Amino acid sequence: MITGVSAGVVSDASARGGMAHRRLLRKELVGAVADMQARAPALDQGSAFPAEDIALLRRLGALAAPVPTELGGLGLGTEPDAALDIMEVLRLIGRGNLSVGRLYEAHVNALRLVMRDGTPAQRRRSAAAAREGGLFGLWVTDAPDAPVVLKEDSVLHGAKSPSGAGHIRHALVTARLASGATHMLAVELPPKRPTDEAA
């Protein structure tokens, strides 16, 4: 539990405000589906990252929406009363572009895991990053011949199949320890450099 905050206690006024904001987000997404669908074939054909669609989600507040209400979000995917809302938001985004839907689902799941299992400091940092428009990734699939291992030098060794690589700044990454146990690590990645585009 986050210290100093009464978890699960939200005033009626703030709950009504959250419902209104969730309704507005759904309405905005309904209007955006056709534009996302129009961009999807070119993105798929060019194997391009859907930057315009992610920017749209950022502008609409969808990247901040999974943050619990007590930390400044709408609780989509992190609070029980928003379960139907997150299902509808995921459906709309996936209808617009399934690749964007998969990235958004990972974003929601990563935030949900941090909010459920993270330390209070990790929760606050992740909430702030999402409210600022950060896109989170959930990278759990190891390359078959190079599983990710966290060695004694505190460096990750191995390979993942990361969705959104190069565009995601915050990721939850699974790694094995020397003991054989698997841990989930919250990793902040450096910003993409202009030279990364040419590589």
Instruction: List the chain domain ranges.
Output: 12-134, 138-198
Rounded mean pLDDT, 6-15: 35
pLDDT class for 27, splitting at 50, 70, 90? very high
CATH of domain 12-134: 1.10.540.10
Give pLDDT, residue 193.
58
Among 32, 35, 25, 58, which Cα is nearest to 169's? 58
The answer, yes or no, to whether residue 64 has pLDDT greater than 90, is: yes
Segments in the chain forming alpha helices (H): 12-45, 51-60, 83-96, 98-117, 120-131, 194-198
The mean pLDDT of the chain is 85
Give pLDDT, residue 49.
94
